[in-house]
Structure 1
Amino acid sequence: MPEIDSAAIGGWLGSAMWPFFRIGAFFLAAPIFGTQLVPARVRIVLAFLMTLAIAPNLPPMPVVDAVSVSAFVLTAQQILIGVAMGFSMQIFLQIFVVGGQIIAMHMGLGFASMVDPANGVTVTVLSQFHLMLITLLFVSMNGHLAMIEVLAASFYTLPVGFAFISKTALLDLAGHAGWMFTSALLLALPAVAALMIVNMSLGVVTRAAPQLNIFSIGFPSMLLLGLCIVWVTMIGYLPLFDRFTREALAMMTYLVGG
């Protein structure tokens, strides 16, 4: 009977477990897969199936003692790589959440909030509408498949070993939050500019006729006109969605040296 030692166990772990840690961490943090609507068991099964599908075609894995400090460090690195890749795409969806909140605050819908079932936080109704719309659009255009493609390619551009994401790429990922707020402002700018004109008009009316109760007139007017403005400005969402998607996928590829 062949003897099973720690080296043999390390070889088995290297062939399947190291990729599984990176893929599982990605599914934990990535949009669509990492939401609370997807049970943890489903994510584990998806990560396991994807590992089985791509493991035979991956580069050779390092042989590491399964019960050593090196194995622990290698596992932590794979988890951090997967989380970083998923987080870079999570920022992409938050652009539309932040943009919806900016518009909602200017049109008077800031008080109308609901619990986001995907992330478990409270957001405005308009942000939830944008998030649902963009999620459906992202899936319909196979954005989730593009994420999985970049994830599978990361095992070639950043092989499993003691190579990690560069310091420059990590700093750029931290600065990616600024890109999120800039893009959200760009998304909300047409609606905010239109709502500002409406506010200025209401201010002129108040100045010309102080006896009018501007609160009883202006609030429903802002809500109605705000909804119309949002409907009109939806025509410009598709080009921005395409641009933001390309930039997010480019950032995800840049993290792993692609």
Structure 2
Amino acid sequence: MNIELGTASVVTLLLASIRITAWLAVAPPFATGGVPRTVRLMLAVGLALAVSNTARAHAPAAELGPLVTSAVEQLLIGASLGFLTRLLFSAVEAAGALIDLTGGFSLAFAYDPLSASTTSVFGKFYGLLATTLIFATNAHLVILQGFLRTFSSLPLDGTMSLSHLDTELVHGLTGMFVAALQIAAPLIAVLFLADVALGLLSRISPQLNVFQVSFPLKIMLTLGLVGLGFATMPRIVTQLGSTAASLMIRIGTG
């Protein structure tokens, strides 16, 4: 059995694989130590085959100069789109870091084997929770669909607008901080009120060892409120996935 591939098909598969590989190397939930590089490469080739029919019409000429230029462009496009996706989902981990800071858990740091870095307790926990919920809520399919649609809005022979990319980066960064505050704000408000109450208690009863009471109280409040907040996390992760997909599509159409 002989399989013949045209030059345009090979060029399309190569360039699409470069863009997808660069995106998978940065974007969650695939850019973690839990996903082997071999799996990411196989997934990149499989997705490139899926979009080859759409992208083939815009494949550049099979010459060294255009191929090298297009390969560099696809690498930058994939990395940029992956960074935007990671920027949005970093809001969940940032919310965990805010909770650590307010609840006093920032004193303890743990090594995260998935990101190969040190992070705070709830920052790590919320990051793992977001990765799990991305798959549990099928948000990864929405993200993949949004990314693959960029091959129509931003074809292989297209050029990304840097000014539009700057605008979307600013919006993405703003959205990350807003989402992080929305996730962590209720718990931060409760812990702040607890600190105020403990301060008033120390003024009313100076002989009471407030420090001895404050640590177990804040730990109990933090763990209880984090547990209550689990019910809202699937909806938040789903919204972040939809936002990431629409953001990547807007990058191409801008």
| TM-score, length-scaled by structure 1 | 0.88
**TM-superposed deviation, 1:244:** 2.9
Out of 160, 163, 179, which is 1:168 matched to? 163
CA drift of 1:61 comes to: 3.4
Tell me, yes or no, if the aligned pair for 1:27 and 1:33 is still in contact at 8 Å. Answer: yes
- Give the equivalent residue in structure 2 for 1:198: 194
Give the conservation status (yes or no) of the 8 Å contact 1:114–1:122: yes
The partner residue of 2:38 within 36, 41, 47 is 41
Give the corresponding residue for 1:19: 16
- Letter aligned with residue 52 of structure 1: L
Give the direction of change, closer, same or farther, for the CA distance of 1:247–1:114 in structure 2 (3 Å limit). Answer: same
Structure 2 letter corresponding to 1:170: L
Match of 1:117 among 108, 113, 117: 113
Quote the residue 1:80 is aligned against: 76
Aligned partner of 1:146 among 142, 151, 171:
142
Provide the residue aligned with 1:211 in structure 2.
207
Q: Decide whether aligned partners of structure 1 residues 45 and 246 sit closer, same or farther in structure 2, where only a CA change above 3 A counts.
A: closer
SS in 2 for 1:122: strand
Distance 1:197 1:135, change over 3 A: same
Q: CA deviation at 1:234?
A: 3.1
Question: Aligned letter for 2:44?
Answer: A
Distance across 1 between alignment mates of 2:38 and 2:231: 39
CA distance in 2, matches of 1:32, 1:126: 18
Aligned residues: 249
The offset of 1:10, in angstroms, is 6.4
Q: Corresponding residue for 1:222?
A: 218
Distance 1:12 1:25 in 2: 20
Correspondences of 1:95-114 after superposition (within 5 Å): 95-114=91-110
Quick one: distance in 2 between partners of 1:105 and 1:15? 48
Change over 3 Å in CA distance of 1:10–1:59 after alignment to 2: closer
Q: Is the 8 A contact 1:13 1:66 kept in 2?
A: no
Secondary structure in 1 matching 2:155 = coil
Q: Is the 8 A contact 1:14 1:61 kept in 2?
A: no
- 2:119 is paired with a residue whose SS is strand
- Measured against aligned partners, the alpha-carbon deviations of 1:220-250 in whole angstroms (never above 9, x if no partner) come to 2111122112223333334433433332222
Partner AA of 1:221 in structure 2: L
Supply the AA of the counterpart residue of 1:23. I
Structure 2: gaps of 5 or more residues = none
Distance 2:211 2:160 in 1: 54
> Is residue 202–residue 218 contact of structure 1 (8 Å, CA) maintained in 2?
yes
Letter of the 2:160 counterpart: I
Structure 1 residue 79: deviation in Å?
A: 0.9
**CA 240–47 in structure 1, closer or farther in 2 if over 3 Å, else same:** closer
RMSD: 2.2
**CA drift at 1:105:** 1.0
Contact 1:59 1:159 in 2 (8 A): no
Give SS of 2:107's match.
coil
Deviation, structure 1 residue 165: 1.8
Moved more, 187-196 or 35-44: 35-44
The residue that corresponds to 1:3 in the other structure is none
- Cα deviation per residue 1:51-80 (whole Å; 9 max; x = unaligned)? 223313434133424322x32221111111
Residue by residue over 1:93-135, the C-alpha shift from the partner in whole angstroms, topping out at 9 and shown as x without a partner, is 2111100010111111112221222211211111222122222
